[in-house]
Structure 1
Amino acid sequence: MKDTKWYTQTLEEVSTRVDVVNGLTTSQVMESREKFGENKLVEAKRRSFFLRLLDQFKDVTIVILIIAAVINVQFGEAVDSIVILAIVALNAVIGMVQEDKADKSLKALQDMSTPTAKVIRDGKEQAVNSHDIVVGDLIILDAGDLVAADIRITKSNSLTVQEASLTGESVPVEKHADYVCAEDAVLGDRKNMAYSSGMVSYGRGQGIVTAVGMDTEVGKIAQLLNETKNEPTPLQMQLNQLGKVLGIGAIIACGIILLVGVLNNHDPLEMFLTAVSLAVAVVPESLPAVATIVLALGVQRLVERHAIVRNLPSVETLGSASVICSDKTGTLTQNVMTVMEYWTEGDVKELAQGMLLCNDSRKNNGAWVGDPTETALSVWAETLDMPATELLTQHVRINEVPFDSTRKRMSTINVIDGVKTVLVKGGVDEVLNVVKYMEVDGKVVPITSEYIQEIQEKNKEMGSKALRVLALAKKVVEDENIEAAEIESELVFVGLAGMIDPPRPEVVDAIRTSKNAGIKVVMITGDHAITAEAIGREIGLLEEGQLVITGKELDAMDDDELFNQVEHIGVYARVSPEHKMRIISAWKKHGHIVAMTGDGVNDAPALKRADIGAAMGIVGTEVAKGAADMVLTDDNFATVVVAIEEGRRIKDNIKKAIAYLLSCNVGELLVLLIAILFDWPAPLIPIHILWINLVTDSLPALALGVDGAEEGIMDRKPETSKSLINKGMMWRIAYQGVLIGGATLFAYMYGSGMLWEAGDVETGQTMAFITLGFSQLIHSYSIHSSEKSVFTSFWKNKYLLLATLVNAAMMLAVLFIPAVNDLFKLGTLDLHHWEIVVGIMFIPLAVVEIMKLIKLNGKH
């Protein structure tokens, strides 16, 4: 029974299979529940705490740090081990907290079920818990009811159902019991079905339950959410790759140093300690903590800018986004039907008043409630400075002919200024069918064919803009107690009103900014193609040559065809959740980082499948919020663009921290490697290296992580590299590391007497220690920008200034506190040596500035 395509069957065929009058008997209810199950959604099995904890230690960098910490403990370097393990623990705690958002999607889906529903069983109407509904139940639907299961309509009286959360269609859908759908009809076109999570916005009806629980369309979405796996973010993959490279590099470098040292007859234990300290130096242990803290600070900034991010790496993922797949209704548009155009030969206020009075919407707590089309007309009247509520009270309705889908008209008789006036509102053709007169200079005269043609041209003009057009006609009567046919006859035409769910005002600028940033924006909606295309063109989303296709056309494509076409399609209309998944997958196969925005139940699987899912916080369903990585608290598409800018800033800053840490580490590696190759006494002993790493790696790198956004950050294309380090960055790390290492070696050679007659190893080590530590601190200012001079940005980062002062004090404490100085086996320098050291430590900065100037002049 549940596999039957009920929407393809006639009402007579349905009636032969189930009792559409008396409903199920008690025994049939029990049988159905046993056969098809309860009307509940199955929750995904939650992974154990232990497995989720293990996930926090999978990154290669974390594994290397743990190994380094264990080795350090074995050789008495407990302080450094404690620092490393504290960083690892911090990452694990933050990761666990973020993952505890878990997967709330299915619970949210369950929460959408109505607590009770009206059913007919054993010929009697009764209220039951929505979970107790079974396949075959006869359900009663009234205005305001949430649909508790999938239902084949068997009775309909002006029944309309709002299905935006499931199909994405912006206006309620008329439902007809006697309608028969084609077998390939998409959800939004099945006018004889009502689906779980829909809401009855108008009229009344009855229907047979065709599916419950996981077999409903909402249940299928729940299954999609279960099957969609969380993939690692680009940043996680890039950091992992970097960790592998650094790990291999550390092993090779340590092996070379250990081998050369032993061959040169150095103490094997001393060389092993040097190699281990170098391993810790090569792998920047502060990088995971810096990345985590920078991401967390970015999350806080985004909260202030109306975006709540639920997963730290997702912030950076936004910065890499190259495609935004956006829902239309409620995301690009306001999700509020609004009168955009009107046409009348008379007074516009007469047209608006007639639309207001021939209307069932009412004001409740300051807001208009009812059918979205009718509330739009009421709001329009108020925008014309008309006292809408007073007019409804003054001009009493004394008779009416309700709207029905056959006539497609609604009629009322109101007393307007003491005169009994018929008002008829409906589709343009349907109203013109009962119009006989028009008004010219205040006089009623027979309507002309030219006037009718003018009306139809205006209707066509509005329709080409995807406006939903309604017409109004009127006449005066003596007696309100007349037949419906007499009410709707010999009417005087008044005018037309066209409405649409309009774009959000800020969307045009947001899309323009996205395009400047090299980000493609694609509309994916359940609405009609004409409406979607009109909105797409109005907001500047559709470009010349881009295609608009429907769900049916998408079904006709296999995955290879979609892959070949996806970059040329700007708008998808009348699509299902499965379609959205295919579209996102096709973009991802092209190597794009895909962001998806949405608010409905139908958006949830795609939000989860995308690299970054952004749900609307105000109008968004709990399902969408539960599946998303980010929730927009202002439902503003422009906030997505703001979040992308923040993501780019964060990625830039993480790369600055990496460039700083690795260039410093290259300098350290170079110092030790050259000294060992030339069989020199060690320029730095292990405690020197560990202290410099502790001092220079943490605070400056973290301060670089909060740098402001670079100018023109949204005028460049998204980065497509799968590595955090591109060729340009690799070159800068290499030559800057050589500068730092070279300056340190020069200081050592000068102090130890290799370049000067007077000197000793202790003085050389002291000069090398000072030069390496302070040149790294000074070098942090060169990292602000790969192009702009340090002199233009020196004061822009107050945190970097503070970090430099704190770390400089820590370095000086080692030099000038006697007990600490003795622990580090350092000497004291005279004024001459200090002059040499101060001069040398600024050499890397000076050379980097010259290189920036050469690069800038080369561009011009």
Structure 2
Amino acid sequence: MTKTDTSKENSTLFHAQSIDKSVEMLKTNLSSGLSENEAQQRLSTYGPNQLKAHNRKSIFKMFLAQLQDALIYVLFAAVVITMFMGEYLDGIIIIIVILINATLGVVQEIRAGNAIEALRKMATPKALVKRDNQVKEIGSEDVVPGDIVILDAGRYIPADLRLVESANLQIDESALTGESVAAEKDASAVFSEDYIPLGDRVNLAYMSTLVTYGRGIGVVTGTGTNTEVGKIADILSQDSETKTPLEVRLDQLGKTLGKAALAICVLIFIISFFQGRDLTEMFLTSVSLAVAAIPEGLAAIVAVVLSIGVTKMAKQNAIIKRLPAVETLGSVNIVCSDKTGTLTQNKMTVQEFFTFTDKTQKVEDQSDLSAEAHLLSSAMVLASDATLENGDSTGDPTEIALLQLADDLKIDRAALSSSQPRIDEKAFDSNRKMMSTLHQQEDKFVIYAKGAIDSIILKCKHIVEDGEIIPLTETHKTILSDAADAMSDKALRTLAVAYKPLEKQIDTENFERNLVMIGVVGMIDPPREEVKDAIATAKEAGISTIMITGDHKNTALAIAKELGIASKRSEATTGAAINNMSREELESHIEEYKVFARVSPEHKVNIVKAFRAKGNIVSMTGDGVNDAPSLNAADIGVAMGIEGTDVAKNASDMILADDNFSTIIAAIEQGRNIYNNIKKSVIFLLACNVGEVITMLVAIGVGLPIPLIATQLLWINLLTDTLPAVALGMDPGDKDVMKEKPRPLNDNFFSHGAGRRVILAGILMGILTIVAFVSGYYLHGYSPFADNIPENIEEYARTLAFLTIIGCQLFYSFSFRHEYKSIFRIGFFSNKYLFGSVVVGLLLQLIVLYVPFMTEAFKLQAVGIKEWLGVFVLSIIPLLANEVVKVFTRRKIQ
């Protein structure tokens, strides 16, 4: 075979081909298999049966990529400027911040790139193949298209197969399709449609799925990346990572501040030139002011705030892999959740059962159960090949659920099996849709049979009711049918059971004749108990929960209704319907649906992308291999930590250590508070910086002396860009944050009046600083516009301006605790970090002012109590003014 042949075969829809046609296309022999020579030739043509590792960037390239950001460029400019001015310590600190952030980003990228490797590890079991007319076990990496693979219970499937034989074959495909129940396979099936959902292709088997029952033979149709798992790996390997909302906002802010800093620098220098000021001094001053306009501490503050958030969330069982994802959680307004194992327990459970004596009963209602109820459960236990001991189980999930039913009804299964040992059986097959077992009961015998209702009822001539075996009538059939339909309407999977007492042993051909109908059970993979409340909380917070599953539509809709996700049938659709939609049609109708059933991994990705295209910020939860591409495509991918596969965990941004859906809601609450804290820090920093810019621009514009020299500006910047800003980022969370709606996608740091607050606060602080500056001259009998003012008078005026602007910024930080709640209600001490930072800031001011060499370095003068009182009065004005504004804000929103 050539590589051209390969691409042709990969596009073949093998579910629509007969066995003979498939074997012919794959050029193989069912009886003898491939020859070793042919297998080696195909191995060289197709390559090993492994998923290709994604070509990763080198660590150096990843490091450089972390530095390609507008805010980082601005910070580098700040480094150059501060170094040029001789402020080497500031420059070194900025460089350290940049390097730490870049290193953290590289570490996160390396960890996130492990999804393909996890897939490769999943796909390397041993394989039983037929070659040269001999059955041999080989490494799965050596399997090639055309190989004849032998399947039996407990064996992982090494590659994608077209089944050619199946005997009661059942395969657990939950990691690929999301369906809880093992899929029954039928090699003889041939489909006429081109598109059949993955979970419905009963004549195919897929790499990395597990045989749970029966046996089969298949011919390999695809290996490595040409398998369904390989398609998922290919989707994951595509470089489609997008920036989080926080990264986008910080990037925009960095560009804006960079342009603003340059404009300020040029403007002040031009004004000074025309005013005839000393150009050397003004160059340093304008550059210092430009540096002051850039909050170079912002990157460090954001990193600190996010790290604190990650630590808190880890204690709440939410493990964050990528720091900016913490903030993104606060923006989420759509949570797309896989059903199996996420919203449900991933464990089939009997909910109801019916006997002609008890009628329909809930399992939890065990009062006055009849002998028929115990007979029904006993029959289900005896006609079973599953095991369940101390919570550990093996076998078909349906049979495991029936064993649990017996435990719920307080039946001693061990004693039951011992008293009625199995001596013969007629195994389940997909044509009969039932199985029967023969048991010896003392000196008599009994047959138990379970299976589909339609199959069992045809074998029955009697029913058991009130302890008596009576003839089966049409009325009985109607009653039984109505009971089964009622269960089906609740999306319960139904299973019937019958028996037949015997005086002597009979052969298997007569096992299933003249049976006695006992009853029916209805089972489902039930919702997790805590999920309903979590979904309700999310709804109150403006967050919609969407179910995306590979399971059947009726089952998914029933669970969705019970959980409060959907209320009507029109809110559910299927993968087949999505397949018939164009991308534009899907995007236009996407918000009409709450449940997406019978979908493939590609559909999941398209659904997530469609929601995002409508302006939503989307979280996707899941645990299986099939969820990995959609986890990767979502704004926030959330994997289950206990039941989740390594592939899902590595493709996600967050892992739930307790697999609890409600943990997602707690994480969203934490994410909202974290974003609010980051916004507080950003707005505070910008308001302070605007105050400094206004002070300098107004003073220079009206012809005043320079109120703050370069070193003073850098000190102010260092003081306010660290202590209060970081402390605001550590503010305790607002308990009312989940009563708010999610932030819109176009929301930014300046939304909801924050930009106006920055400007007004900056203007107010600038005016108060100039007032203090001018007062310094007049207190000594000088006009600030006069010529030949003594140097000590200028230092005195600058000292008052220096103390006032820092005092304004330190006290004003308290007003940022909440947008409209008063600081007097919240309390000055409820954020001990902020209170401590203000105290430390004031102490540092005392050091600068009263330690002689510091005073001389910053060209300041020591002042007395009278000056300090004046500075204090001016400094608390912004805080008090903001409290007055909050009064009107509260009245407006009430």
Q: TM-score range by the shorter chain?
A: over 0.9
Match status 1:805 vs 2:861? no
Q: Give the letter aligned to residue 193 of structure 1.
A: L
What SS does structure 1 have at the residue aligned with 2:423?
Answer: strand
Map of 1:237 onto structure 2: 248
What does residue range 836-855 of structure 1 map to in structure 2 within 5 Å? Answer: 836-855=870-889
For each residue in 1:106-135, what CA deviation from the matched residue of structure 2 results, as whole angstroms up to 9, or x when unmatched?
A: 111110124311111111111000000111
* CA–CA distance in structure 1, aligned partners of residues 751 and 441 of structure 2: 76
Deviations 1:669-690 (A, max 9, x none): 1111111112112221111111
Partner residue in 2 for 1:279: 290
Q: Distance in 2 between matches of 1:810 and 1:68?
A: 24
Output one character per residue of 1:15-64: Cα deviation in whole Å (capped at 9) or x when no partner. Answer: 55532122111122123223322211111111122211111211211111
Paired residue secondary structure (1:492): strand
Q: Which moved more, 1:211-220 or 1:255-264?
A: 255-264
Q: C-alpha distance in 1, partners of 2:256/2:414? A: 71
1:682-721 Cα deviation digits (max 9, x unpaired):
2211111111111121121111112122232122222122
Find the counterpart in structure 2 of residue 550 from structure 1.
574
Q: Secondary structure at the match of 1:731?
A: helix
**1:693 is aligned to 2:717:** yes
Q: Match of 1:181, SS?
A: coil
Please tell me the residue identity of whatever aligns with 2:454.
Answer: D
Q: CA deviation at 1:611?
A: 1.4
**Is 2:385 the counterpart of 1:375?**
no
Match of 2:499 among 468, 474, 478: 474
Q: Distance in 2 between matches of 1:564 and 1:755?
A: 73
Q: What TM-score do the two structures reach when normalised by structure 1?
A: 0.97
Determine if contact 1:750/1:756 at 8 Å carries over to the other structure. Answer: no
Whether 1:568 aligns to 2:576 is no
**SS of corresponding position for 1:85:** helix
Does the CA contact (< 8 Å) of 2:338 and 2:547 recur in 1? yes
Contact (CA 8 Å) 1:472, 1:493: kept in 2 or not? yes
Query: In 1, Cα distance between the equivalents of 2:414 and 2:811?
Result: 70
Q: Deviations over 1:304-355 (max 9, x none)?
A: 1112111111111111112122111111111111111112224323322221
Kindly indicate whether residue 73 of structure 2 is the aligned counterpart of residue 63 of structure 1: yes
Contact 1:363/1:389 (8 A) holds in 2: no
More displaced stretch, 9-18 vs 347-356: 9-18
**1:437-475 CA deviation, whole Å, 9 max, x = no partner?**
122332211122212211110100000111111111112
Alpha carbons 1:615, 1:625 under 8 Å: kept: yes
Question: C-alpha displacement at 1:188, in angstroms?
Answer: 1.1
Contact in 2 for aligned 1:412/1:422 (Cα 8 Å): yes
d(CA) in 2 for partners of 1:472, 1:299: 53
Aligned counterpart, 2:777: 752
| Correspondence for 2:470 among 445, 469, 488 | 445
* Letter of the structure 2 residue corresponding to residue 589 of structure 1: A
Letter in 1 for 2:49: N
Partner Cα separation in structure 1 for residue 442 and residue 709 of structure 2 = 100
Q: Deviations over 1:814-841 (max 9, x none)?
A: 1122221121111122222121111111
Q: Deviations over 1:602-628 (max 9, x none)?
A: 111111111111111222121111211
CA RMSD of aligned residues (A): 1.8
User: Secondary structure in 2 aligned to 1:714?
Assistant: helix
Larger displacement relative to structure 2 (308-317 or 712-721): 712-721
The yes-or-no answer on 1:763 pairing with 2:796 is yes
Q: 2-side partners of 1:254 and 1:801: how far apart?
A: 34
The one of 71, 74, 78 aligned to 2:88: 78
Give the superposition deviation at 1:851.
Answer: 0.5
1:221 counterpart = 2:232: yes
Q: Which runs of 5+ in 1 are unaligned?
A: none
Q: Deviations over 1:562-592 (max 9, x none)?
A: 1110111111111112112221221122121
Query: For structure 1, which segment, 358-367 or 66-75, has the greater mean C-alpha deviation from structure 2 after superposition?
Result: 358-367
Matches within 5 A, 1:152-163: 152-163=162-173
CA spacing shift, 1:295–1:665, aligned 2, 3 Å = same
Tell me what 1:639 maps to: 663
Amino acid at match of 2:874: I
Residues 158-197 of structure 1 aligned to structure 2 (within 5 Å): 158-182=168-192, 183-197=194-208
Secondary structure of 2:379's match? helix
- How many Å separate the matches in 2 of 1:427 and 1:808? 80
Q: Does the 8 Å CA contact 2:625/2:647 hold for their aligned counterparts?
A: yes
Give unpaired runs (5+ residues) of structure 2.
Answer: 1-8, 358-369, 784-791
Distance 2:185 2:344 in 1: 25
Q: Which residues in structure 2 correspond to 1:319-358 (within 5 Å)?
A: 319-344=330-355, 345=357, 346-347=370-371, 348-358=373-383
Query: Contact 1:68–1:276 (CA<8 Å) still a contact in 2?
Result: no
State how far apart, in whole Å, the 2-side matches of 1:462 and 1:173 are: 21
Tell me, what secondary structure is at the counterpart of 1:842?
helix
1:671 aligns with 2:695: yes
**Preserved CA contact (<8 Å) 1:510 1:641:** yes
TM-score by length of 2: 0.93
My pick for the range that moved more, 664-673 or 819-828, is 819-828
Question: Structure 2 vs 1, CA of residues 752 and 90 (structure 1 numbering), >3 Å: closer, same or farther?
Answer: farther
Which moves more between the two structures, 842-851 or 245-254? 245-254
Q: How does 1:164-563 map to 2 (within 5 A)?
A: 164-182=174-192, 183-344=194-355, 345=357, 346-347=370-371, 348-363=373-388, 366-416=391-441, 419-480=444-505, 482-543=506-567, 546-563=570-587
Cα distance in 2 for partners of 1:448, 1:846 equals: 87
CA displacement, residues 346-366 of structure 1 (integer Å, 9 cap, x when unaligned): 432332222112111113565
- Provide the residue aligned with 2:807 in structure 1: 774
Retained in 1: the 8 A contact 2:328–2:671? yes
The residue type equivalent to 1:270 in the other structure is: E
Amino acid at match of 2:90: D
- 1:274 Cα deviation from its structure 2 partner: 0.9
Residue matched to 2:21: 13
Q: Is structure 2 residue 852 aligned with structure 1 residue 827?
A: no
Verify the 8 A CA contact 2:112 2:651 in the aligned structure 1.
no
**Among residues 731, 735, 754, which one is paired with 1:707 in the alignment?**
731
Percent of pairs with identical residues: 42
- AA in 1 matched with 2:864: D
